[in-house]
Amino acid sequence: MGRYVLRRLLQMIPVVFGTTFLIFWMTWALPGDPLAGKCGQRPCSPEFIAAVRDRLNLGDPLIVAYAKFMKNFLTGNLGDTVSGENIANLIQTAFPVTFRLALLAIVFEVVIGIGAGILSGLRRGGFFDNLVLISTLIVISIPVFVIGFLAQYFFGIKLGWFPVTVSDGAPWGDLVLPAFVLAALSLAYVARLMRASLAENLRSDFVKTATAKGLPRRTVIMKHTVRNSLIPVVTFIGADFGVLLGGAIVTEGIFNISGIGGLTYSAIRLREGATVVTVTTLIVLVFLIVNLFVDLLYAVLDPRIRYE
């Protein structure tokens, strides 16, 4: 197990450098002047432009600027924006909010998605199975921003169960409704994937053998069938965590959440290349660590899987 973890950690190194270089290159290749409009309606002074270009390495060749960025990133120096704000402080404020939002969304996927998938798979063709299939199909067909506005209107304004917007500090209670909206699409996929995987395993030979040996049906289902059926679902959820972190822009905008999605959108709009690449690098690192954890979880779900 230790050798496998070490090998996976070493594999992360080229992935991190490759993804960050691509993002850095795409940000670098955007047309226009990143300093345009930074001084209001008046043109910026030549001294200000020269100082900012030197501080942000805008005058260096692409590979040189990228090397300087990665050197600063690895040493903990995330740099400043064009306006002089410290990028580390911006991320320190925004990233925990989005992380809690994505974590709560994963909880909804696990509890509701997997639970509905199990019940639907065990009662194929029944009322609950048809209800799950129809409801998940409806959710998949509706854009996230429509689900967000509907949830905000009915559960926030009409019923008053949840706050319409998230207050400063983003407490857990305020994030429940936004997290459900963020998880809605993935939740529907998880339920369908769990249903299909469970239905397939229920017809497999090892289930028939366990039943023929006289094991109770509850033991056969929970200990053998469900555990094996969770492997593709866990894979999807692990990959989805990084997607939720990077795709929270719409949800954060609807519920007025000051998270990493809004920070990234603002940085892209203002041509803050250093902020975009730094945020992307953090999301890539979180994504890789979560997927490493998912791979190790395979051996827990299926004892037949070994890494040595």
pLDDT attached to residue 38: 61
Same structural domain, 36 and 106: no
Tell whether 8 is covered by a domain. Answer: no
| Contact yes or no for 161/155 (Cβ under 8 A) | yes
Domains contained in the chain, number: 2
Q: How does pLDDT run across 154-179, given as a tens digit for each residue?
A: 888 888 888 888 777 777 888 888 88
Q: Show the DSSP H helices in the chain as ranges.
A: 2-28, 46-55, 62-74, 87-108, 115-122, 127-141, 144-151, 176-202, 205-212, 217-219, 226-246, 249-254, 260-269, 273-301
Q: Is there a single domain that holds both residue 189 and residue 254?
A: yes
Residue ranges making up the domain that contains 58: 16-74
- Same domain (yes/no): 134, 202: yes
Domain contains 112: yes
Higher pLDDT, 4 or 235: 235
Which among 276, 237, 303 is positioned nearest to 34, based on CA atoms?
276
One domain for residues 48 and 111:
no
Whether 124 and 199 have beta carbons less than 8 Å apart is answered as yes
pLDDT greater than 70 at residue 307: no
Instruction: Please tell me whether residues 55 and 176 are part of one structural domain.
Output: no
Do 146 and 288 belong together in one domain? Answer: yes
Query: pLDDT-derived band of residue 302, with 50, 70 and 90 as boundaries?
Result: low
Question: Does 85 reside within a domain?
Answer: no
**pLDDT tens digits, residue range 211-227?**
777 777 777 777 777 77
Looking at the structure, tell me whether residues 102 and 68 fall in a common domain. Answer: no
Whether the Cβ atoms of residue 270 and residue 36 lie closer than 8 Å to each other: no
Q: Residue 241: which residues within 8 A CB-CB, separation 6 or more?
A: 102, 106, 286, 287, 290
175 and 63, same domain (yes or no)? no
Q: Is residue 10 part of a domain?
A: no
CA–CA distance, 163 with 157 (Å, rounded to integer):
8
Do 38 and 146 have their domain in common? no
- Indicate whether 113 belongs to any domain: yes
- Residues 104 and 171 both lie in one domain: yes
- Asked, for residue 92, whether it belongs to a domain, the answer is no
Q: How many CA atoms lie within 13 A of 247 on its CB side?
A: 18
CATH, residue 166: 1.10.3720.10
Q: Same domain for 41 and 129?
A: no
Q: Is residue 268 part of a domain?
A: yes
> Has residue 137 been placed in a domain?
yes
The yes-or-no verdict on residue 94 having pLDDT over 80 is yes
The torsion defined by the Cα of 98, 18, 67 and 8, in degrees rounded to 10, comes to 80
- Identify the three-state secondary structure at position 182: helix
- Same domain (yes/no): 63, 101: no
Q: Are 17 and 70 contacting, i.e. CB atoms less than 8 angstroms apart?
A: yes
